[in-house]
Amino acid sequence: MRYKSTRGQVSDLSFTEAVLMGLASDGGLLLPESVPDVSEHLEAWQSLSYSELAKNIMGLYIGDIAAAELGGIIDKSYSTFTNEKVTPLNRLGETYILELFHGPTLAFKDVALQFLGNVFEHILKETKGELNIVGATSGDTGSAAIAGVRGKDNINIFIMFPEGKTSELQELQMTSVLDANVHNLAVDGSFDDCQALLKSVFSDLPFKAQYQLGAVNSVNWARILAQIVYFFSAYFQLKEEQPQTHKVDFCVPTGNFGDIFAGYLARKMGLPIDRLILATNANDILARFFKTGRYEREEVNFTHSPAMDIQVSSNFERYLYYALEGSSAKVNEFMESFANTGAASIEFNTPSFDQTFAAGSATNEQTLAAIQEIYEVHGYITDPHTAVGLHVGKTLRRTEVPIIHLSTAHPAKFDAAIKLALPEVHPVHPTLEALKGAKTRKSKLEVDEDALKHFIKKQRAPE
């Protein structure tokens, strides 16, 4: 399998070249040249373990890592999860919840970033190279990325997060990691500011090359690839319980569009997904797009579901490429309009546009109400991001097709929001309890590209 950019100026990359490039050098996002149809394999894959399923799916997209070595990377990546199914499906009455929080940092990002960290390690061992990872996080990506590469040889990681706008525990998970190769940068701004800094620095190609910059954000194709797997796993787990099931909806809490885009690719591969239900909080740029065709930036709203407090979704361009019939010229035109005016539109009556997506949003009040409802009915505590999905899924539910809700983080990571919804309930997890009172380290950073570059230079000079 080879890889190309949505912007049309980069093509014919191997998997490892795509992983190391992260953001395409023409400013676009990397995609596989084709999407394999695996419909005929679904029955055979039904009984596979999670790691074996991952080997079958990822192997279709990875041509430059030997099968045995890839298998070892995958086994190592998922050995860190505390549930043997890695991403178990939990049934609560008629509600299905796919728990994606059984990894080291209790968030769905672990599924991809444990894999990506081990892939980076493999590549650098083969090439005897060095990598300076730069990332931006609205909450969980940072700690998961740090957990994936902390202490690894020849890798440094610089994670930007919006100061005071992640949960206290999310920040603690990052800043309590004191390994010498880990650098946490508290940015005086929003997540979108962090993401803009990231893209700006990666767009400086001489600087990127000189300081060997790598990406762990969902702009990195390996993140999307790893996330495809659990859509298949969820469907197979549902089939074990309901063999008569032929179609399924997935409801995905969405900020950067990476998680739901993985589901979109799973559907293109032949997984019988009927609809992908996109759930946003008050930052509803994506929900508005799928209802109107207009992609328009507004001011960032800070909510009880902070990982979704995003107005510019970095993975949306990947979907746009398919929606615009694979035309890089149209993608460039759309993205240029959005960059210059803060808005761009697509006509929904084009032959290539499908009705795969349904979309909705949840207010803070509706999010808390969803937390209360599932607890009162089932005694189950859910984090606020998953609760956004539960609210939207409830409004868009159809009785004839089951919905699998993606649960993106352990509720103990968001104790402030849980306390508002359930004052008498205090979710805990030993991993998080062990962090309290830990020594921390972080550096303040203004929203300035030169300041970020200076920090990277100061910490790691090139050979």
Over residues 124-139, mean pLDDT: 89
Asked if pLDDT for residue 351 goes beyond 60, the answer is no
Please give the order of strands across the beta sheet that includes 95-99. 89-92, 95-99, 403-407, 248-253, 273-280, 357-361
Task: For 383-410, write each residue's pLDDT tens digit.
Answer: 999 999 999 999 999 989 999 999 999 9
pTM: 0.92
Going by C-beta distance under 8 Å and a sequence separation of 6 or more, which residues neighbour residue 333?
A: none
Domains and CATH numbers, the chain: 89-105+222-429 (3.40.50.1100)
Catalytic residue among 55, 109, 165, 208: 109
pLDDT value, residue 354? 67
pLDDT value, residue 353? 58
Over residues 57-77, mean pLDDT: 97
Task: For 291-319, write each residue's pLDDT tens digit.
Answer: 889 999 999 898 999 889 888 888 999 99
Q: What is the DSSP string of 243-267?
A: TT---EEEEEE-SSSHHHHHHHHHH
Q: Is 109 a catalytic residue?
A: yes
* 292 three-state secondary structure: helix
pLDDT value, residue 349? 66
Task: For 415-424, write each residue's pLDDT tens digit.
Answer: 899 999 999 9
Q: What percent of the chain has pLDDT over 70?
A: 98
Sign of CA dihedral 186, 410, 280, 329: positive
Over residues 178-202, mean pLDDT: 93
Going by C-beta distance under 8 Å and a sequence separation of 6 or more, which residues neighbour residue 2?
A: 11, 12, 13, 14, 32, 33, 63
Task: For 106-120, write each residue's pLDDT tens digit.
Answer: 999 999 999 999 999
pLDDT value, residue 461? 43
Average pLDDT of every residue of the chain: 93
As a whole number of Å, the CA-based R_g of the chain is 21
Asked if pLDDT for residue 463 goes beyond 90, the answer is no
